[in-house]
Amino acid sequence: MEESRSHLLASLEISLDPELLDLALTHRSYSYEHGGIPTNERLEFLGDSILGQAVTVMLYTSFPDLEEGELAKRRASLVSTVALAEIARTIGLGPHIKLGRGEELTGGRDKSSILADTMEALIGATYLDQGPDVATPLVLRLVEPLVRDPRRFGVGMDPKTALQEKAGRLGFEAPVYSVAESGPDHRKSFVATVSVAGAKKRQPVSATGAGSSKKQAEAEAAAAAFVLLGE
């Protein structure tokens, strides 16, 4: 496991205290099944702030001609669950996350919400262990490929609208969503399925997404379907 985590840190180009790294990788489902040990949620809270600040400053300085509204949209895209999950998959984060058996059996290692939250926790852990001089460059390295992707500021900012527009452009029918919820009232989880019926002899497309809100789950499902539609 130590060797595996060393590869993870190498891909991030950072070093971290082993105990702090372990905490950053501990999902609440694992904590629940192991006596209520600390989870990565506080680190996630911190990392979200560090991420937002770094991306905001980068966009402000890199795009001096953009108006406030466009800067806000780009920031929302770069710090979204969809974007963070994409980064997490790129660095192979999923296998390192400590999950409970329930999440393990339901594909939790590839759930965008879990991947994104863990990514934020790692950023928070980096800030605590190494300070802003290491945490900020880490954020910028992670988002740089997304900033350079000309497609990013479409589907990433509004996956549902992007999917609807793409479906119409390619001759598909309008997307149809269904959402299932589970869990107690104070900690509900949602799984959304979007179906895009084929037209003009095209095969239908279906995709799912998960999140802590209906909106988040539908956005993740739409982003996945957007990719599946191709061009």
Q: For residue range 97-150, what is the model confidence (pLDDT) as tens digits?
A: 999 998 888 888 988 889 999 999 999 999 999 999 999 999 999 999 888 775
- 149 annotated active-site: no
Q: Where are the alpha helices (DSSP H) in the chain?
A: 2-12, 18-24, 28-33, 41-62, 68-78, 81-90, 101-105, 112-130, 132-147, 152-155, 159-169, 214-229
Between CA 163 and CA 223 the distance in angstroms is: 7
Q: What is the average pLDDT across 61-86?
A: 88
- 48 annotated active-site: yes
pLDDT bin (cut points 50, 70, 90) of residue 156 is low
pTM of the model: 0.73
- Report pLDDT for 157: 61
Q: What percentage of the chain has pLDDT greater than the value 90?
A: 51
Q: Which token pair is 201?
A: 């002899």
Whether residue 220 is annotated as binding a ligand: the answer is: no
Q: Catalytic residue among 22, 86, 103, 120, which?
A: 120
Whether residue 67 is annotated as binding a ligand: the answer is: no
Q: For residue range 81-104, what is the model confidence (pLDDT) as tens digits?
A: 888 988 999 999 999 999 999 888
Contacts of 12 (CB under 8 A, 6+ apart): 91, 122, 126, 138, 142
Euclidean distance between the first and final Cα of the chain, in Å? 41
Average pLDDT score over the chain: 88
Whether residue 133 is annotated as binding a ligand: the answer is: no
The answer on pLDDT for 230 being more than 80 is no
Between CA 91 and CA 71 the distance in angstroms is: 27
